[in-house]
Every structure is written in structure tokens, then in C-alpha cells.
DNA sequence: TTCGTTGCAAACCCTTTGCACGCAC
DNA sequence: GTGCGTGCAAAGGGTTTGCAACGAA
């Protein structure tokens, strides 16, 4: 669910083993109520548009914690910044190389017939499919 | 071809519209003779292991030029640095999230049945498929 | 009290930029 | 001489870290 009421956020955090402090709740709310895929900077701005402030360090640390605990995903498409994705179910992305916009692609739309064999002594960790686009108008 | 003799490097540069200065030749040789996918830093180190030096600025500028001209490709998998790929034909990558190693996957091994429709007003620019792995031994 | 969390500022690292020098045509 | 290419150093921007203060159990 994408509705971000405090109650479900708190239980969500708990279910991922994250103690729900007020800053973490605020950051999670910002991410889960966001229609796009925000960067750390944008999350910082969203969180601090309200009265109370959250420091930059806490935002970065909290995002790392969320990723590590599996609450959210990092999307690596832009060498200059990390984008965060509240949707952790299997899906992929359109990435506009000019505007930087990122849009989800449902996994069912691009599922691979089969994965190639893993290299020796390696185990599967994740699959990212990124379709890079650019605006049609020159 | 991956053999990196000066003659073929020079004609390669010329065919991509890049005037072959000695620094550019040296950088191209480093990339094309490299079995892995080097970062800018590693290319700088490779180039400067010989007698003559190439400055950091020139390495970065030259790599950007090569990418822009289509001689090489950037691979965006690690948020902390850009990797470069001398292979510009259609292929994809295994990326080990622990060691940072990157290995090619031939396009024929993972071809998609079909691409989802482009978002409106966007045109196709490129397709990246990254299979993230980690070492099997804990 | 104790340990986890927060916040500020500084440090870090990769990359880009400003600007002067130098070489080729 | 003009313009591109190079090199040095400094700036830039996102991210991480050191450390002291804080707060909940």
C-alpha cells in the first residue's frame, strides 16, 4: 500500500526491525507518499518542509538503514546521485537520461525467458533492467 | 578486436572523429588492452605506470570525449564511481556487489521477448540489464 | 545508567572547471 | 596567429564520519 498514514508506517518499520523514531517515521512517510523516486537531497527537502527539522546526516543514515533492512531499494542510474524506490517488489525502470525522471515498469512486462547461468561461486542477488530514454522532441 | 596495437587504435580514434593525440592513444590503449572494466582512477593508474604521465584532468576529459563519441560506454552500477566498457556491442553485465567486479553477458543469452512500450514522447536510448551477484561463500 | 539515535560540521572522494601554457596547422 | 589539447590546482556536489549531546528503557 502506498498510503502513508503514521500507523501503517510505524508497523512497517517495526516489521523490518527498525525502531520507529520520529525522524525515521517522517522520512519513511516522505518516501512512501512520494509519487516519484526521490534522491536523498529531495527527501531532506520534503522532510524539512514541515516545522520540525531532520538533519542531513540523519537522513543519509536513515536511508542507508532502510536499504540495509530491505524497507526500500536504491536505484543506481545516475552517477551523480542515488535514487530511492519505495517499491521493493520485482519491477524495472525507464530512466530519462535528459530529465532524470524514473518510471516503473511492471516485472510482468519485461520478464526474461531465463537468466544466464551465474558465474562460478556467485549467487544471485538482484536483477535490474533499465531502459534509458530521451525526450522525443529534439 | 581487443588487441591494442597503436596502429589500430589510431584508426579507431579517427573513425570516431577523435584526433589521436599521444595522451588519447595511451588512454585508449589502456582501456582496450584491459580485461576488466576499469574506473577512471584505474585508467589513470594504468596510463601512468609507464614513463610519461597523463594528468587526471586529461584522463577524465578524454573518457568523457570517448563516451560522447561512442568509442566506449559508461557502466553505471556503483554509486561511487563510473566504470568504462570498451565493448560497445549489445551486451549486459553481472555485477558483484561485494567485490565490485563486472563481467559481460552476451546479449544473446538474455534477450528480452519484447520491450514494453516507451512512455509518451520518449524515444529509446539504451537498455541496461544488470544481474547483481554476491560471492557464494558467506 | 546505558545504549541507541540525532545533529552539526568537517572530512572524503570522485568528478568537473578555470585558466594558463604549449603544440599543431 | 588561432584554436584545440593538456595540466595543475581548486572548486563542486553527493555522501560519510567523528564526536558530543540527547533520550528512551
pTM of the shown model: 0.91
Q: Which of B63, B133, B138 to mutate to test the interface with A (most CBs of A within 10 A)?
A: B133
Q: What is the pLDDT at residue B52?
A: 74
Q: What is the pLDDT at residue B138?
A: 60
Query: By the 8 A CB rule, do A95 and A102 touch?
Result: yes
Which chain B residues have a beta carbon less than 8 Å from that of A128?
A: 128-132
Q: What is the pLDDT at residue A3?
A: 45
Q: What is the pLDDT at residue B5?
A: 64
Kindly give the pairing relationship between strand B73-78 and strand B81-85. antiparallel
Which chain A residues have a beta carbon less than 8 Å from that of B39?
A: none
pLDDT over 80 (residue A68): yes
Which chain A residues have a beta carbon less than 8 Å from that of B36?
A: none
Nearest to A73 by CA among A118, A126, A29, A121: A126
Query: By the 8 A CB rule, do A39 and A84 touch?
Result: yes
Which residues of A have a CB under 8 Å from any CB of B?
74, 76-79, 81-82, 94, 96-97, 103, 105, 109-110, 112-113, 115-116, 118-119, 121-137
Q: What is the pLDDT at residue A2?
A: 40
Among A126, A132, A137, beta carbon nearest to B128: A132
Q: What is the pLDDT of residues A39-58, one digit of tens each?
A: 999 999 999 987 778 999 99
Q: What is the pLDDT at residue B137?
A: 77
Kindly give the pairing relationship between strand A122-135 and strand A91-96. parallel
Please report, for chain B, the start and end positions of each structural domain, with discontinuous segments joined by +. 3-71, 85-133
Nearest to B81 by CA among B37, B136, B20, B125: B37
Query: By the 8 A CB rule, do B107 and B91 touch?
Result: yes
pLDDT over 50 (residue A66): yes
CA of A81 to C1' of D13 (A): 9
Q: What is the pLDDT at residue A120?
A: 86
**Is the CB of A61 within 7 Å of strand D?**
yes
Q: What is the pLDDT of residues A99-134, one digit of tens each?
A: 999 999 998 888 777 889 999 899 999 999 999 999
Question: What is the rounded end-to-end Cα distance, in angstroms, of chain A?
Answer: 38
| Residue ranges, chain B, pLDDT below 70 | 1-6, 138
Q: Which of A114, A125, A137, A138 to mutate to test the interface with B (most CBs of B within 10 A)?
A: A125
Question: CA A129: distance to chain centroid?
Answer: 15
Kindly give the pairing relationship between strand B102-106 and strand A102-106. unpaired
Q: Domain B3-71 has what CATH class? A: mainly alpha
Amino acid at each position: 500500500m502506498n498510503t502513508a498514514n503514521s500507523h501503517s508506517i510505524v508497523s512497517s518499520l517495526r516489521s523490518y526491525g527498525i525502531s520507529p523514531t520520529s525522524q525515521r517515521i517522517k522520512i519513511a512517510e516522505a518516501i512512501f507518499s512520494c509519487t516519484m523516486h526521490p534522491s536523498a537531497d529531495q527527501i531532506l527537502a520534503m522532510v524539512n518542509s514541515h516545522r520540525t527539522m531532520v538533519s542531513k546526516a540523519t537522513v543519509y543514515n536513515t536511508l542507508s538503514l532502510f536499504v540495509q533492512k530491505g524497507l526500500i531499494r536504491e536505484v543506481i542510474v545516475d552517477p551523480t546521485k542515488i535514487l530511492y524506490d519505495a517499491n521493493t517488489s520485482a519491477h524495472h525502470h525507464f530512466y530519462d537520461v535528459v530529465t532524470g525522471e524514473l518510471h516503473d515498469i511492471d516485472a510482468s512486462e519485461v520478464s526474461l525467458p531465463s537468466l544466464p547461468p551465474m558465474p562460478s561461486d556467485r549467487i544471485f542477488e538482484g536483477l535490474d533492467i533499465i531502459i534509458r530514454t530521451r525526450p522525443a522532441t529534439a
